[in-house]
């Protein structure tokens, strides 16, 4: 069977490098994702099984360490050291690269998810899907879309075993009585699992893989997801503690945009994030306390709901509250009440336009009173072009309350910026009716001062893009320094120079 190679590259996981080929084969209806995973004979496999038993017996690992992601690197190092000594004794004449490969494969089997670890290490993948033991793993490639791999997880019990491993490490469980799982991996990737017979063809695992190097505002301006002008307005809103909703369809980039915006928060502000499953990734320098919900145990006890966390967060003296996604009425009521009491809140909502976001918030199952929407200052709407796979900011809107009669009030979206598909540009659509007035009330800014501030922020963002200052720690440091000493950053921007610490950092990387 002949095949056309569309792309090939190497992927490395725990010091084991494998080649990836994306091919178009004859008599195949979909393109294929082929991994060249090392294969060994029965003798080597038996040796590896003996090594597993020896390492686990001698390592003295307890369940608590397996539950805590901070210990995973330490455990891997300990396992690698132990496995190296045992292999040196058992295979004294083997080459170092062979031993390193065997050690890496052992670590995958004992502390990871076997062959799936290679897929998790591929930065080109967004989704990894196991549908059953009868068919290969499917992957969603950023460039080629859905691809069928040559990797199988067999038998069905092994898929369930991986689901159990994922569940245990985050303090959850998946059983015949509780056959659905929503969790996250040690790497931060989101995982969902279902067990037979709920999924009638077999056990399933779906992993949404997040970038190991998170998107920053530099990236989204550079790839035209947003414009510097639009993001300067978002920055201004976040700096002065305005409330923002980020909405969009599935896979449109809502959570990524939420992550991108959070470095605009001053470093001395206390942030509480609340999620069902950990997806938010914030810079380490922020004063951040992440909270996640917990499902009840087999006896129906111990549940910690989103509502519990929201109510509790208000007692933790937060400056900013991030809510992963609002789905239910009581949660939304508490969240909007937090906005009304002066807390700055950011959250995501499943809706395709600003008007649809309003309808979703005031309709079942959320059904908040329409009068509560006046606490939302901006609604940023994300969009995904399914044909080319590009993500764009579709709209940036403010909410305007209008009285139709004495007893009837409506809220409409005033679109400030919108994306134009024909030119692939994000441009100004309407003048603000409410946002700048509210900002002036909060800050005392005159219109001229506000426009000067926006112009300054836009120039800084364009400077970041021009000088390729894009990793999250560098972008965060620039913004933090801007708050501490504005003139030092604006001076660098005017001269088009980069900070000395960034020059040193770049030199180390190169």
Q: What is the pLDDT of residues 350-384, one digit of tens each?
A: 999 999 999 999 999 899 989 889 999 999 999 98
CB 401 within 8 A of CB 411: yes
- Per-residue pLDDT band for 169 (boundaries 50, 70, 90) equals confident
- Residue range 394-410: mean pLDDT, rounded: 85
Nearest partner of 228 among 236, 217, 214, judged by Cα: 217
The reported pLDDT for the residue numbered 88 is: 73
- Out of 14-18, 87-91, 146-150, 285-289, which region has the weakest mean confidence (pLDDT)? 87-91
Same domain for 420 and 362: yes
- Does 219 have pLDDT greater than 50? yes
Q: What is the model's pLDDT at position 433?
A: 93
Contact between 260 and 248 (Cβ < 8 Å): no
* Same domain assignment for residues 326 and 285: yes
Sign of CA dihedral 280, 284, 286, 287: positive
Pairing mode, strands 270-275 and 145-149: unpaired
Tell me, rounded to whole angstroms, the distance of Cα 457 from its chain centroid.
25
Shared domain for 197 and 86, answered yes or no, is: no
pLDDT reported for residue 510: 57
pTM above 0.95, yes or no: no
Q: How many CB atoms lie within 10 A of CB 198?
A: 11
| 188, 208, 228 - which closes a domain | 208
Residue 347 in domain: yes
Q: Residue 390: beta bridge partners?
A: 385
pLDDT number for residue 9: 93
Asked if 310 and 223 sit in the same domain, the reply is yes
Residue 493 lies inside a defined structural domain of this protein: no
When pLDDT is averaged across residues 300-320 and rounded to a whole number, the result is 87
Question: What DSSP element (H or E) covers 288?
Answer: strand 287-292
Q: Which residue has the higher pLDDT, 177 or 33?
A: 33
Note whether 281 and 188 are within 8 A (CB).
yes
Residue 380 lies in a domain: yes
User: In this structure, are 74 and 91 located in the same domain?
Assistant: yes
Residues 422 and 294 occupy one common structural domain:
yes
Query: Is residue 73 located within the same domain as residue 140?
Result: no
Average pLDDT over residues 89-98: 74
Residue 323 lies in a domain: yes
Q: Are residues 277 and 320 in the same domain?
A: yes
Q: Do 324 and 402 share a domain, yes or no? A: yes
Residue 442 near residue 240 (C-beta atoms within 8 A):
yes
pLDDT at 1: 54
Domain count, the chain: 3
CB atoms within 10 A of CB 283: 22
Question: DSSP letter at 136?
Answer: P
- Burial (CB < 10 A; 0-12, 13-18, 19+), residue 441, is exposed
Residue 500 falls within a domain, yes or no? no
Q: Is residue 497 part of a domain?
A: no
In the chain, what percentage of residues exceed pLDDT 70?
93
Same domain, 138 and 273: no
Q: Which of 173, 208, 243 is the last residue of a domain?
A: 208
pLDDT at 44 over 50: yes
Tell me what the pLDDT averaged over the chain comes to: 87
Tell me, what CATH number does 183's domain have?
3.30.450.370
Alpha carbons 18 and 6: distance in angstroms, whole number = 17
What is the pLDDT at residue 64? 47
DSSP-assigned states of every residue in 405-431: SSS-EEEEEEEEEEEETTTTEEEE-S-
pLDDT category, 182, cuts 50, 70, 90? confident
Question: DSSP assignment, residue 13?
Answer: E
Token reading at 31:
């393109």
CATH number at residue 318: 3.40.50.300
Mean of pLDDT values over 398-414: 85
Kindly state the average pLDDT of the residues 280-306. Answer: 81
> What number is the average pLDDT over the span 296-316?
83
pLDDT one-digit tens code per residue, 460-496: 999 999 999 999 889 999 999 999 999 999 999 999 9
Banded pLDDT at 388 (limits 50, 70, 90):
low
Percent of the chain with pLDDT over 90: 49
Q: Are residue 299 and residue 349 in the same domain, yes or no?
A: yes
Region 271-279 average pLDDT: 84
Residue 130 lies in a domain: yes
pLDDT band at 63 (very low <50, low <70, confident <90, very high): very low
Could you say which of 111, 127, 149 is where a domain stops?
111
Indicate the range of 19-23, 84-88, 189-193, 252-256 predicted with least confidence: 84-88
Domain contains 496: no
Instruction: State which residues form the domain around 365.
Output: 217-443
> Do 97 and 134 sit in the same domain of this protein?
no
Mark out the alpha helices in 34-155 (DSSP H runs).
42-59, 63-67, 72-90, 96-111, 116-120
**Closest Cα to residue 313, out of 293, 284, 283, 285?**
293
Q: How far apart are the C-alpha atoms of 336 and 240, rounded to whole Å?
A: 18
């Amino acid at each position: 069977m002949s095949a056309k190679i569309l792309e090939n590259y190497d992927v490395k996981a725990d010091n084991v490098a494998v080649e990836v080929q994306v091919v178009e084969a004859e008599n195949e209806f979909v393109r294929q994702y082929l991994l060249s995973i090392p294969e060994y004979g029965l003798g080597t496999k038996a040796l590896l099984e003996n090594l597993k038993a020896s390492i686990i017996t001698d390592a003295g690992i307890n369940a608590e360490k397996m539950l805590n992601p901070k210990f995973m690197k330490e455990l891997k190092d300990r396992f690698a050291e132990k496995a190296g000594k045992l292999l040196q004794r058992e295979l004294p004449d083997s080459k170092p690269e062979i031993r390193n490969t065997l050690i890496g494969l052992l670590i995958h089997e004992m502390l990871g998810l076997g062959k799936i670890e290679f897929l998790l290490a591929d930065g080109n993948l967004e989704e990894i899907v196991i549908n059953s033991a009868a068919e290969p793993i499917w992957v969603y490639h950023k460039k080629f879309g859905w691809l069928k791999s040559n990797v199988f997880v067999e038998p069905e019990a092994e898929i369930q075993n991986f689901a159990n491993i994922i569940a245990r490490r985050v303090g959850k469980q998946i059983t015949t009585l509780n056959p659905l799982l929503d969790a996250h991996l040690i790497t931060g990737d989101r995982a969902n699992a279902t067990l037979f017979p709920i999924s009638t063809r077999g056990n399933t695992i779906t992993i949404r893989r997040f970038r190991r190097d998170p998107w920053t505002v530099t990236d989204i301006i550079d790839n035209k997801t947003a414009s510097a002008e639009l993001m300067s307005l978002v920055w201004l809103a976040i700096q002065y503690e305005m409330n923002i909703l980020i909405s969009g369809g599935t896979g449109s980039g809502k959570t990524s945009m939420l992550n991108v915006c959070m470095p605009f928060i001053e470093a001395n502000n206390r942030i509480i994030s609340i999620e069902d499953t950990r997806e938010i990734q914030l810079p380490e320098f922020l004063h951040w306390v992440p909270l996640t919900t917990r499902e009840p145990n087999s006896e129906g006890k111990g549940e910690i709901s989103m509502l519990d966390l929201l109510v509790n967060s208000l007692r933790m003296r937060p400056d900013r509250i991030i809510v992963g996604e609002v789905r239910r009425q009581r949660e939304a009521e508490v969240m909007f009440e937090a906005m009304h009491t002066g807390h700055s809140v950011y959250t995501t909502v499943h809706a395709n336009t600003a008007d649809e976001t309003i309808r979703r918030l005031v309709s079942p199952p959320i059904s908040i009173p329409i009068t509560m929407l006046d606490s939302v200052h901006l609604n940023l709407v994300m969009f995904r072009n399914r044909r080319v796979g590009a993500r764009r900011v579709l709209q940036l809107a403010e909410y305007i309350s209008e009285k139709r009669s004495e007893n009837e009030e409506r809220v409409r979206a005033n679109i400030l910026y919108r994306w134009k598909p024909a030119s692939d540009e994000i441009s100004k659509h309407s003048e603000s009716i409410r946002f700048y007035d509210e900002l002036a009330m909060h800050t005392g800014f005159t219109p001229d001062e506000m426009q000067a501030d926006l112009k300054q922020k836009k120039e800084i963002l364009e400077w970041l893009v021009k000088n390729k200052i894009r990793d999250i720690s560098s972008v965060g440091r620039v913004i933090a320094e801007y708050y501490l000493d504005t003139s030092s950053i604006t001076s660098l921007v005017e001269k088009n120079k980069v900070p000395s610490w960034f020059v040193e950092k770049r030199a180390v990387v190169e």
